[in-house]
Amino acid sequence: MMIRNALDHGVLIDIEVSNNLITAILPATGGFHSGDVDAEGDEVLPGLWDEHVHIRSWAQMRTRANLLPADDSDAVVEILRKHPSDGSEPIVGHGLRWALWKNPPLMSALDAVSTTRPVVAFSMDVHSVWINSVAAREFDVIDIAGDSGILREHDAFRILTRMSDIDDDLMDALIAEAFTAAKAQGIVGITSFEMESLSDWDRRIGKGIDLITVRASLYPERIHEAFDRGLRTGDSVGGRVEMGFLKVITDGSINTRTAYMHAPYTGEDTIGVLNTSETELERLVRESSRNGVTAALHAIGDKANTIVIDTFEKVGVAGRIEHAQMVLPDDVQRMAKLGLTASIQPAHAVDDRDVAERLWGERVSYAYPMKSFLDAGVKLVLGSDAPVAALDPWHTIEMATARTADGRPAWHPEEALTRSQAIAASARSTIDVGQPADLILVGPDAEIRSATQ
Residue type, 413: P
Task: Identify which of residues 219 and 394 has a Cβ nearer to Zn ion in the complex.
Answer: 219
Nearest distance from C-beta of residue 352 to Zn ion, angstroms:
14
Cα 331 to Cα 4, 276, 416, distances in angstroms: 45, 20, 20
Task: Identify which of residues 42 and 322 has a Cβ nearer to Zn ion in the complex.
Answer: 322
Residue type, 138: E
Task: Identify which of residues 2 and 425 has a Cβ nearer to Zn ion in the complex.
Answer: 425
Q: What does DSSP say about strands 128-131 and 448-450: parallel, antiparallel, or unpaired?
A: unpaired
Nearest distance from C-beta of residue 258 to Zn ion, angstroms:
14
Q: SS3 for 150?
A: strand
Q: Is 405 within 8 Å of 77 (Cβ atoms)?
A: no
Nearest distance from C-beta of residue 54 to Zn ion, angstroms:
6
Task: Identify which of residues 45 and 386 has a Cβ nearer to Zn ion in the complex.
Answer: 386
Nearest distance from C-beta of residue 52 to Zn ion, angstroms:
6
Nearest distance from C-beta of residue 386 to Zn ion, angstroms:
8
Nearest distance from C-beta of residue 247 to Zn ion, angstroms:
9
Task: Identify which of residues 58 and 139 has a Cβ nearer to Zn ion in the complex.
Answer: 58
Q: What is the DSSP string of 201-259?
A: HHHHHHTT--SSEEEEEE-GGGTHHHHHHTPPTT-EEETTEEEEEEEEE-B--TTTT-S
In the complex, the residues that contact Zn ion under the rule CB under 5 A are 385
Q: Which of 438, 418, 349, 428 is nearest to 385 (CA)?
A: 349
Sign of the Cα torsion 428, 433, 437, 442 reads: positive
Task: Identify which of residues 388 and 448 has a Cβ nearer to Zn ion in the complex.
Answer: 388
Task: Identify which of residues 320 and 334 has a Cβ nearer to Zn ion in the complex.
Answer: 320
Measured distance CA(296)–CA(10) in Å, rounded: 37
Query: Number of helices and strands (H, E) in the chain?
Result: 17, 21
Q: Outline where DSSP puts E strands in 268-388.
A: 295-299, 320-323, 341-344, 379-382
Q: CB-based contacts of 128: which residues, under 8 Å, 6+ apart?
A: 96, 98, 122, 150, 151, 152, 153, 156
Nearest distance from C-beta of residue 374 to Zn ion, angstroms:
22
Measured distance CA(109)–CA(148) in Å, rounded: 9
Q: CB-based contacts of 271: which residues, under 8 Å, 6+ apart?
A: 260, 261, 262, 263, 264, 265, 301, 303
Left if phi > 0, otherwise alpha if psi is -120 to 50, otherwise beta: which for 144?
Answer: alpha
Task: Identify which of residues 331 and 385 has a Cβ nearer to Zn ion in the complex.
Answer: 385
Task: Identify which of residues 385 and 398 has a Cβ nearer to Zn ion in the complex.
Answer: 385
Task: Identify which of residues 175 and 431 has a Cβ nearer to Zn ion in the complex.
Answer: 175
* CA–CA–CA angle 46, 52, 56 (5° rounding): 115
CB count, 10 Å around CB of 122?
A: 23
Nearest distance from C-beta of residue 23 to Zn ion, angstroms:
38
Q: Is 20 within 8 Å of 157 (Cβ atoms)?
A: no
Measured distance CA(245)–CA(292) in Å, rounded: 10
Nearest distance from C-beta of residue 253 to Zn ion, angstroms:
9
Task: Identify which of residues 293 and 391 has a Cβ nearer to Zn ion in the complex.
Answer: 391
Q: Is 285 within 8 Å of 219 (Cβ atoms)?
A: no
Task: Identify which of residues 247 and 257 has a Cβ nearer to Zn ion in the complex.
Answer: 247
Q: CB-based contacts of 14: which residues, under 8 Å, 6+ apart?
A: 2, 3, 4, 5, 6, 25, 26, 27, 28, 29
